[in-house]
Homo-oligomer: A and B are copies of this chain.
Amino acid sequence: MRQRLKDVAERAGVSVKTVSNVVNGYVHVRPDTRARVEEAIAELNYRPNLSARHLRKGRTGVIALAVPELDIPYFAELARYVVTAAAAYGWTVLIDQTGGRREQERVVASGITDHLIDGLIFSPLALTAEDLAGLDGTPMVLLGERVEHGPADRVMIDNVTAAREITEHLIQLGHRRIAAIGSQRTDEGASARLRLAGYADALRAAGLDYDETLVAPALAWHRADGATAMRGLLTSGVRPDAVFCFNDTLALGALRALHEAGLRVPEDVAVVGFDDIEDGRFSIPTLSTVAPDKARIAHLAVELLANRLDGDRAAPAKALSAPYRLELRESTQTR
Protein backbone atom coordinates (compact mmCIF):
# COMPACT_ATOMS: atom_id res chain seq x y z
CA MET A 1 0.00 0.00 0.00
CA ARG A 2 0.90 3.55 -0.56
CA GLN A 3 2.24 5.38 2.45
CA ARG A 4 1.00 8.69 3.81
CA LEU A 5 2.48 11.35 6.01
CA LYS A 6 0.53 9.81 8.85
CA ASP A 7 2.26 6.45 8.45
CA VAL A 8 5.66 8.09 8.43
CA ALA A 9 4.69 10.18 11.45
CA GLU A 10 3.66 7.14 13.47
CA ARG A 11 6.82 5.29 12.62
CA ALA A 12 9.02 8.25 13.51
CA GLY A 13 6.99 9.11 16.60
CA VAL A 14 6.29 12.70 15.59
CA SER A 15 3.31 14.64 14.33
CA VAL A 16 2.15 14.62 10.75
CA LYS A 17 3.09 18.24 10.36
CA THR A 18 6.65 17.62 11.45
CA VAL A 19 7.04 15.07 8.69
CA SER A 20 5.56 17.58 6.29
CA ASN A 21 8.09 20.11 7.52
CA VAL A 22 10.96 17.72 6.95
CA VAL A 23 9.71 16.88 3.47
CA ASN A 24 9.45 20.57 2.64
CA GLY A 25 12.81 21.48 4.07
CA TYR A 26 11.55 23.65 6.91
CA VAL A 27 14.57 24.79 8.93
CA HIS A 28 13.43 24.56 12.53
CA VAL A 29 13.63 20.82 12.97
CA ARG A 30 16.15 19.28 15.35
CA PRO A 31 18.79 17.27 13.52
CA ASP A 32 17.97 14.05 15.36
CA THR A 33 14.27 14.46 14.69
CA ARG A 34 14.99 15.12 11.06
CA ALA A 35 17.14 12.01 10.89
CA ARG A 36 14.44 9.85 12.44
CA VAL A 37 11.86 11.17 10.03
CA GLU A 38 14.09 10.71 7.02
CA GLU A 39 14.80 7.17 8.08
CA ALA A 40 11.09 6.45 8.34
CA ILE A 41 10.52 8.02 4.93
CA ALA A 42 13.17 5.81 3.42
CA GLU A 43 11.91 2.68 5.12
CA LEU A 44 8.35 3.20 3.99
CA ASN A 45 9.38 4.53 0.59
CA TYR A 46 7.08 7.46 1.12
CA ARG A 47 6.13 9.71 -1.83
CA PRO A 48 3.96 12.77 -1.42
CA ASN A 49 0.50 12.68 -2.89
CA LEU A 50 0.66 15.41 -5.47
CA SER A 51 -3.08 15.80 -5.73
CA ALA A 52 -3.43 16.45 -2.05
CA ARG A 53 -0.51 18.82 -2.11
CA HIS A 54 -2.00 20.64 -5.04
CA LEU A 55 -5.39 20.80 -3.43
CA ARG A 56 -3.81 22.50 -0.47
CA LYS A 57 -1.29 24.69 -2.25
CA GLY A 58 -2.95 25.44 -5.54
CA ARG A 59 0.06 24.29 -7.58
CA THR A 60 0.63 21.03 -9.38
CA GLY A 61 4.10 21.38 -10.82
CA VAL A 62 2.71 20.34 -14.18
CA ILE A 63 2.44 22.52 -17.25
CA ALA A 64 0.85 21.54 -20.51
CA LEU A 65 2.13 21.95 -24.02
CA ALA A 66 -0.60 21.90 -26.64
CA VAL A 67 0.47 21.40 -30.24
CA PRO A 68 -1.42 20.45 -33.39
CA GLU A 69 0.32 17.14 -34.02
CA LEU A 70 3.25 15.39 -32.47
CA ASP A 71 4.29 13.56 -35.59
CA ILE A 72 4.96 16.83 -37.32
CA PRO A 73 8.71 16.88 -36.70
CA TYR A 74 8.81 20.58 -35.90
CA PHE A 75 6.43 20.11 -32.98
CA ALA A 76 8.14 16.97 -31.81
CA GLU A 77 11.46 18.79 -31.70
CA LEU A 78 9.86 21.76 -30.00
CA ALA A 79 8.25 19.47 -27.44
CA ARG A 80 11.63 18.07 -26.61
CA TYR A 81 13.05 21.51 -25.96
CA VAL A 82 10.07 22.55 -23.87
CA VAL A 83 10.37 19.45 -21.70
CA THR A 84 14.04 20.23 -21.17
CA ALA A 85 13.42 23.89 -20.39
CA ALA A 86 10.59 23.05 -18.01
CA ALA A 87 12.73 20.54 -16.15
CA ALA A 88 14.93 23.43 -15.06
CA TYR A 89 11.95 24.80 -13.16
CA GLY A 90 11.05 21.42 -11.73
CA TRP A 91 8.00 21.14 -13.92
CA THR A 92 6.60 18.11 -15.64
CA VAL A 93 5.13 18.66 -19.06
CA LEU A 94 1.83 17.21 -20.16
CA ILE A 95 1.54 17.14 -23.92
CA ASP A 96 -1.78 17.66 -25.62
CA GLN A 97 -2.59 17.25 -29.27
CA THR A 98 -5.28 19.46 -30.71
CA GLY A 99 -5.17 18.20 -34.27
CA GLY A 100 -5.26 21.87 -35.20
CA ARG A 101 -9.05 21.73 -34.93
CA ARG A 102 -10.59 24.87 -33.56
CA GLU A 103 -13.07 23.08 -31.36
CA GLN A 104 -10.37 21.04 -29.67
CA GLU A 105 -8.17 24.10 -29.37
CA ARG A 106 -10.95 25.96 -27.61
CA VAL A 107 -11.41 23.09 -25.22
CA VAL A 108 -7.72 23.15 -24.42
CA ALA A 109 -7.61 26.91 -24.07
CA SER A 110 -10.62 27.07 -21.83
CA GLY A 111 -9.02 24.41 -19.76
CA ILE A 112 -10.06 20.82 -20.16
CA THR A 113 -6.97 20.18 -18.11
CA ASP A 114 -8.17 22.74 -15.64
CA HIS A 115 -6.91 22.48 -12.11
CA LEU A 116 -4.44 19.91 -13.21
CA ILE A 117 -1.89 22.22 -14.70
CA ASP A 118 -0.26 25.41 -13.53
CA GLY A 119 0.20 26.83 -16.99
CA LEU A 120 -0.13 26.20 -20.69
CA ILE A 121 2.17 26.66 -23.64
CA PHE A 122 0.00 26.67 -26.67
CA SER A 123 0.69 26.55 -30.37
CA PRO A 124 -2.68 27.25 -31.97
CA LEU A 125 -3.52 26.80 -35.62
CA ALA A 126 -7.17 27.67 -35.80
CA LEU A 127 -7.93 29.59 -32.64
CA THR A 128 -9.13 33.17 -32.83
CA ALA A 129 -8.67 36.10 -30.48
CA GLU A 130 -12.35 35.88 -29.53
CA ASP A 131 -11.88 32.33 -28.35
CA LEU A 132 -9.32 33.61 -25.90
CA ALA A 133 -11.14 36.72 -24.75
CA GLY A 134 -12.50 36.49 -21.27
CA LEU A 135 -10.46 33.48 -20.23
CA ASP A 136 -9.72 33.93 -16.58
CA GLY A 137 -8.06 30.62 -16.11
CA THR A 138 -4.63 29.18 -16.34
CA PRO A 139 -1.69 31.37 -17.42
CA MET A 140 -0.94 30.80 -21.06
CA VAL A 141 1.90 31.45 -23.47
CA LEU A 142 1.11 31.35 -27.16
CA LEU A 143 3.61 30.23 -29.76
CA GLY A 144 3.49 31.67 -33.24
CA GLU A 145 1.61 34.46 -34.89
CA ARG A 146 -1.90 33.14 -34.73
CA VAL A 147 -3.93 35.36 -32.37
CA GLU A 148 -1.89 38.50 -32.69
CA HIS A 149 -3.74 40.79 -30.36
CA GLY A 150 -4.90 38.41 -27.70
CA PRO A 151 -4.57 38.80 -23.96
CA ALA A 152 -1.80 36.23 -23.55
CA ASP A 153 2.00 36.28 -23.59
CA ARG A 154 3.55 35.22 -26.86
CA VAL A 155 6.80 33.95 -28.35
CA MET A 156 7.33 34.13 -32.09
CA ILE A 157 9.90 34.68 -34.72
CA ASP A 158 9.81 37.39 -37.35
CA ASN A 159 8.24 35.35 -40.12
CA VAL A 160 7.99 38.16 -42.63
CA THR A 161 11.66 39.08 -42.44
CA ALA A 162 12.80 35.47 -42.36
CA ALA A 163 10.72 34.64 -45.42
CA ARG A 164 12.01 37.73 -47.18
CA GLU A 165 15.62 36.85 -46.44
CA ILE A 166 15.45 33.30 -47.70
CA THR A 167 13.65 34.47 -50.83
CA GLU A 168 16.30 37.13 -51.33
CA HIS A 169 18.91 34.44 -51.10
CA LEU A 170 17.23 32.59 -53.97
CA ILE A 171 17.17 35.80 -55.99
CA GLN A 172 20.86 36.41 -55.31
CA LEU A 173 21.61 32.95 -56.65
CA GLY A 174 20.10 34.09 -59.92
CA HIS A 175 16.65 32.51 -59.70
CA ARG A 176 13.90 34.53 -61.31
CA ARG A 177 10.82 32.28 -61.42
CA ILE A 178 10.45 31.49 -57.74
CA ALA A 179 7.40 29.50 -56.74
CA ALA A 180 5.89 29.39 -53.25
CA ILE A 181 4.19 26.35 -51.73
CA GLY A 182 1.97 26.48 -48.68
CA SER A 183 -0.35 29.47 -49.02
CA GLN A 184 -3.63 29.22 -47.14
CA ARG A 185 -6.83 31.16 -46.74
CA THR A 186 -6.24 34.22 -44.57
CA ASP A 187 -8.43 32.96 -41.74
CA GLU A 188 -6.58 29.66 -41.60
CA GLY A 189 -2.89 30.16 -41.50
CA ALA A 190 -1.21 33.10 -39.87
CA SER A 191 2.24 31.71 -40.60
CA ALA A 192 1.27 31.16 -44.22
CA ARG A 193 0.10 34.74 -44.56
CA LEU A 194 3.26 36.20 -43.06
CA ARG A 195 5.63 33.99 -45.01
CA LEU A 196 3.79 34.79 -48.19
CA ALA A 197 4.10 38.49 -47.36
CA GLY A 198 7.86 38.14 -46.88
CA TYR A 199 8.13 36.26 -50.16
CA ALA A 200 6.19 38.98 -51.97
CA ASP A 201 8.30 41.70 -50.32
CA ALA A 202 11.49 40.12 -51.59
CA LEU A 203 10.18 39.82 -55.14
CA ARG A 204 8.98 43.41 -55.15
CA ALA A 205 12.26 44.72 -53.77
CA ALA A 206 14.11 42.90 -56.57
CA GLY A 207 11.76 44.24 -59.20
CA LEU A 208 10.31 40.80 -59.96
CA ASP A 209 6.65 40.23 -60.71
CA TYR A 210 4.46 38.51 -58.18
CA ASP A 211 2.93 35.78 -60.31
CA GLU A 212 -0.13 34.14 -58.79
CA THR A 213 0.27 31.00 -60.85
CA LEU A 214 3.56 30.39 -59.05
CA VAL A 215 1.89 30.34 -55.63
CA ALA A 216 0.49 26.94 -54.68
CA PRO A 217 -1.84 26.49 -51.73
CA ALA A 218 -1.52 23.60 -49.28
CA LEU A 219 -4.34 22.75 -46.96
CA ALA A 220 -2.10 21.03 -44.47
CA TRP A 221 1.69 21.22 -44.36
CA HIS A 222 2.60 17.56 -44.57
CA ARG A 223 4.96 15.88 -46.99
CA ALA A 224 2.07 14.62 -49.07
CA ASP A 225 0.71 18.14 -49.48
CA GLY A 226 4.08 19.40 -50.60
CA ALA A 227 4.39 16.63 -53.16
CA THR A 228 0.88 17.26 -54.48
CA ALA A 229 1.44 21.00 -54.74
CA MET A 230 4.75 20.55 -56.53
CA ARG A 231 3.23 18.10 -59.02
CA GLY A 232 0.49 20.65 -59.63
CA LEU A 233 3.01 23.35 -60.38
CA LEU A 234 4.91 21.10 -62.75
CA THR A 235 1.89 19.93 -64.70
CA SER A 236 0.48 23.44 -64.95
CA GLY A 237 3.55 24.24 -66.97
CA VAL A 238 4.73 27.27 -65.02
CA ARG A 239 8.29 25.90 -64.79
CA PRO A 240 9.74 27.52 -61.70
CA ASP A 241 13.53 27.62 -61.27
CA ALA A 242 13.22 27.72 -57.47
CA VAL A 243 10.62 26.89 -54.83
CA PHE A 244 10.13 28.39 -51.40
CA CYS A 245 8.13 25.92 -49.30
CA PHE A 246 6.57 27.39 -46.18
CA ASN A 247 7.85 24.55 -44.06
CA ASP A 248 10.33 21.70 -44.30
CA THR A 249 7.88 18.85 -44.60
CA LEU A 250 6.28 20.56 -47.60
CA ALA A 251 9.78 20.93 -49.01
CA LEU A 252 10.59 17.26 -48.49
CA GLY A 253 7.41 16.38 -50.37
CA ALA A 254 8.37 18.81 -53.11
CA LEU A 255 11.83 17.23 -53.38
CA ARG A 256 10.13 13.92 -53.85
CA ALA A 257 7.83 15.22 -56.59
CA LEU A 258 10.75 16.88 -58.39
CA HIS A 259 12.70 13.65 -58.22
CA GLU A 260 9.78 11.72 -59.72
CA ALA A 261 9.55 14.30 -62.51
CA GLY A 262 13.21 13.74 -63.31
CA LEU A 263 14.27 17.22 -62.28
CA ARG A 264 17.53 17.71 -60.43
CA VAL A 265 17.78 19.76 -57.26
CA PRO A 266 19.40 22.26 -57.17
CA GLU A 267 20.61 22.18 -60.79
CA ASP A 268 17.16 22.43 -62.39
CA VAL A 269 15.17 23.73 -59.46
CA ALA A 270 16.39 25.09 -56.12
CA VAL A 271 14.32 24.30 -53.03
CA VAL A 272 14.16 25.95 -49.62
CA GLY A 273 12.05 25.18 -46.57
CA PHE A 274 11.34 26.60 -43.15
CA ASP A 275 11.77 25.08 -39.63
CA ASP A 276 15.09 23.24 -39.85
CA ILE A 277 13.79 19.81 -38.89
CA GLU A 278 16.31 17.04 -38.56
CA ASP A 279 15.17 15.25 -41.71
CA GLY A 280 16.33 18.19 -43.78
CA ARG A 281 19.91 17.62 -42.68
CA PHE A 282 19.88 14.10 -44.14
CA SER A 283 17.55 14.34 -47.10
CA ILE A 284 18.88 13.95 -50.62
CA PRO A 285 19.78 16.68 -51.32
CA THR A 286 20.08 18.26 -47.88
CA LEU A 287 17.60 21.07 -47.45
CA SER A 288 18.30 24.80 -47.20
CA THR A 289 15.95 26.30 -44.67
CA VAL A 290 15.12 28.99 -42.16
CA ALA A 291 16.23 27.69 -38.78
CA PRO A 292 14.27 29.17 -35.86
CA ASP A 293 16.09 28.84 -32.56
CA LYS A 294 13.77 26.24 -31.06
CA ALA A 295 15.69 25.95 -27.82
CA ARG A 296 15.36 29.68 -27.34
CA ILE A 297 11.66 29.64 -28.18
CA ALA A 298 11.07 26.92 -25.62
CA HIS A 299 13.18 28.69 -23.03
CA LEU A 300 11.40 32.01 -23.50
CA ALA A 301 7.99 30.38 -23.33
CA VAL A 302 8.78 28.58 -20.10
CA GLU A 303 10.29 31.73 -18.65
CA LEU A 304 7.23 33.80 -19.51
CA LEU A 305 5.08 31.20 -17.83
CA ALA A 306 7.27 31.21 -14.75
CA ASN A 307 7.05 34.99 -14.50
CA ARG A 308 3.32 34.85 -14.89
CA LEU A 309 3.01 32.23 -12.17
CA ASP A 310 5.26 33.90 -9.67
CA GLY A 311 4.53 37.47 -10.55
CA ASP A 312 1.71 39.68 -11.61
CA ARG A 313 -0.98 37.77 -13.38
CA ALA A 314 -2.67 40.95 -14.47
CA ALA A 315 0.46 42.48 -16.03
CA PRO A 316 0.09 43.40 -19.70
CA ALA A 317 0.83 40.61 -22.14
CA LYS A 318 4.38 40.43 -23.46
CA ALA A 319 5.36 39.39 -26.95
CA LEU A 320 8.92 38.14 -27.31
CA SER A 321 10.82 37.40 -30.47
CA ALA A 322 13.23 34.49 -30.89
CA PRO A 323 16.13 34.57 -33.32
CA TYR A 324 16.52 32.49 -36.46
CA ARG A 325 19.22 32.02 -39.06
CA LEU A 326 19.43 30.82 -42.64
CA GLU A 327 20.78 27.30 -42.96
CA LEU A 328 22.08 26.94 -46.50
CA ARG A 329 22.59 23.40 -47.72
CA GLU A 330 22.69 21.42 -50.94
CA SER A 331 19.19 22.16 -52.18
CA THR A 332 20.27 25.67 -53.13
CA GLN A 333 23.94 25.17 -53.90
CA THR A 334 24.95 25.13 -57.52
CA ARG A 335 27.97 22.91 -57.37
Interface residues of A (CB under 8 A from B): 1-2, 45, 47-52, 54-55, 60, 62, 69-71, 73, 76-77, 79-80, 83, 92-97, 110-116, 136-137, 223-224, 227, 252-253, 255-256, 259, 278-279, 281-284
Contact = CB atoms under 8 A, between A and B. Distances in A.
A239 B62 CA distance: 52
Given A223-B282, A282-B252, A115 B70 contact: no
A97 B83 contact: yes
Given A93-B95, A227-B282, A283-B284, 14 more contacts: A2-B136, A2-B137, A47-B114, A48-B114, A50-B114, A51-B115, A52-B115, A71-B73, A71-B80, A93-B94, A252-B279, A253-B282, A255-B282, A255-B284
29 contacts: A2-B115, A2-B136, A2-B137, A47-B114, A47-B115, A49-B55, A50-B113, A50-B115, A50-B116, A51-B55, A70-B76, A70-B80, A71-B79, A73-B76, A79-B95, A83-B96, A92-B94, A92-B96, A92-B112, A92-B113, A92-B116, A93-B94, A93-B95, A227-B282, A252-B279, A252-B282, A255-B282, A279-B279, A284-B284
Contacts of A62: 94, 116
Given A2-B137, A54-B51, A94 B94 contact: yes
A69 B76 CA distance: 9
